[in-house]
Amino acid sequence: MKGLILCNKCRKKMDGVCDCVKKKNPEKKGNQKCLIRIYHKGKYYEYRKDDRGFILTYDTAVAKLADIASQIKKGIFNPTDCTDEKTKQRKFEFQIGQWLEERKEELGNGELSPEHYTHIISYNKNYYSYFMGHDVRDIGLETLSNFKREALKYKAGTDERLRSKSKKNILNALHAFFTWLKKNGAIKEIPAFPEIKNSDKTRRLAISREVQAEALQKIPQEHIDPIMFMMKTGIRPGEAIAILVKSVDLNNRVLWVERARSGNTYVERVKNKEALPVPLNDIALSIAKKHCAGKFPNSFFFINPITQKPYTRWFLWDLWKRLSETDVTLYEATRHSFCSQIVPLTDKLTAQRLMRHKDGRSTDNYYHAYADHLLDVVQGLDNAVDFAKVKNEK
């Protein structure tokens, strides 16, 4: 390989600064901008920009020539990879733009929830600008660790510390982007990612049936049914408010969870991406019969009697928070508590199926044993053997 550094004005060989512009106008400084011309395998190639997309100066041209020589020596040099267009296409901002376009298509096809799409758009706007100008091939553990330490310290635009869970979500979305890069051949390997220690993990709670009953007495009568229904089925609030009458099979006593509300949009898919039947016990069945009566199949199952429109998740969430007089959220009072109540009554596999979890570890995270139940278990140790009697017998 033969390479030359040429002035981008007069195209003469230069070794620092070219005086061609000073000859025309002595008051002007010499030209520092240049281009590289190489001869490789019988062809000439010219490059005008460095890997960051900036016009070459003498120093950056020397560095680029050295990099090209190193690639040739290793047998990995591809002349087209160094063109301005290819360099532009390897930039983080170009690649993530392509990735987000694909996510937008998935959103339109119902393959991605609106809430998740909103999150990744927000991550890109508020945090991923850190990688602007980077060649995606050059982003490794060191760069990602610096990103975690520098860009993920505070919530965007505030002096509020970013929670560990938020950091993890931002890095998980970034990891999904790098997985896409590898799949599309833009990178050879997915870089190692820094770990996030979940130091601020919120301790989830559950309540007993007795506490649920007491709390429901404080909720206005006209809004009890959707909350009670969630308590008896374990479905998510976003799923409960999206149920259509046609999804309720009264004859077989099951509810088919086929859709959910994500953000402000109803999506024809659920979190585990698979419609599964949820059995209805006597209380849930009586609620189902009441709310299916006189409605068309495509009508909403639960209607807010005040607005005569479907419930919003935030309405029920706020209602529970203001009036229940408990220390738990609506999600904990329904889904978490449902899991904690069914686990002692059945085997782990059945509990996992009732929770519609693909992984049993998720069910483990939802189960919260009640303190009085744990006390009964350990109290049984003393009742199992009468130590005083055993001592007297000896």
Spatial separation of the C-alpha atoms in residues 166 and 48, rounded to whole Å: 41
The number of helix segments (H) and strand segments (E) in the chain equals 18, 10
When pLDDT is averaged across residues 233-247 and rounded to a whole number, the result is 95
Three-state DSSP class for residue 25:
coil
- Residue 203, pLDDT above cutoff 90: no
| pLDDT confidence bin for 132, thresholds 50/70/90 | very high
Give domain status of residue 111, yes or no: yes
Half-sphere exposure at residue 344, Cβ-oriented, CA atoms within 13 angstroms: 12
Helix, strand, coil percent content, the chain, rounded in steps of 5: 50, 15, 35
Classify residue 284 as left (phi > 0), alpha (psi -120 to 50) or beta: alpha
When pLDDT is averaged across residues 209-214 and rounded to a whole number, the result is 95
Task: Please check whether residues 222 and 362 belong to one and the same domain.
Answer: yes
Task: Please check whether residues 160 and 236 belong to one and the same domain.
Answer: no
- Residue 234, pLDDT above cutoff 70: yes
Which letter does DSSP use for residue 189 in this model?
S
- What the block records as the tokens of 51 is 């890997």
Q: For the residues of 36-47, what is the DSSP string, one character each? A: EEEEETTEEEEE
| pLDDT at residue 387 in the model | 47
pLDDT in tens, 325-372: 999 999 999 999 999 899 888 888 998 999 988 888 888 777 765 555
Spatial separation of the C-alpha atoms in residues 244 and 338, rounded to whole Å: 22
Where does 356-394 have alpha helices with state H? Answer: 360-366, 371-384, 387-393
Spatial separation of the C-alpha atoms in residues 194 and 149, rounded to whole Å: 10
Task: Please check whether residues 305 and 353 belong to one and the same domain.
Answer: yes
Average pLDDT, the chain: 87
Task: Please check whether residues 170 and 243 belong to one and the same domain.
Answer: no
Task: Please check whether residues 256 and 355 belong to one and the same domain.
Answer: yes
Long-range own/partner contacts, residues 251-260 (CB < 8 A, 24 or more apart): 252/277, 253/279, 253/280, 253/285, 254/278, 254/279, 254/280, 255/280, 255/284, 255/288, 257/356, 260/113, 260/236
- Residue 54, pLDDT above cutoff 90: no
Give domain status of residue 197, yes or no: no
pLDDT in tens, 305-320: 999 999 988 999 999 9
Instruction: Provide the domain count of the chain.
Output: 3
Which letter does DSSP use for residue 222 in this model?
G
Spatial separation of the C-alpha atoms in residues 225 and 228, rounded to whole Å: 5
Q: Count of CB atoms within 10 A of residue 305's CB? A: 12
Task: Please check whether residues 220 and 355 belong to one and the same domain.
Answer: yes
Contacts of 267 (CB under 8 A, 6+ apart): 110, 113, 114, 259, 260, 261
The residue segments making up the domain with residue 146 are: 92-183
Q: Final residue of a domain: which of 44, 70, 85?
A: 85
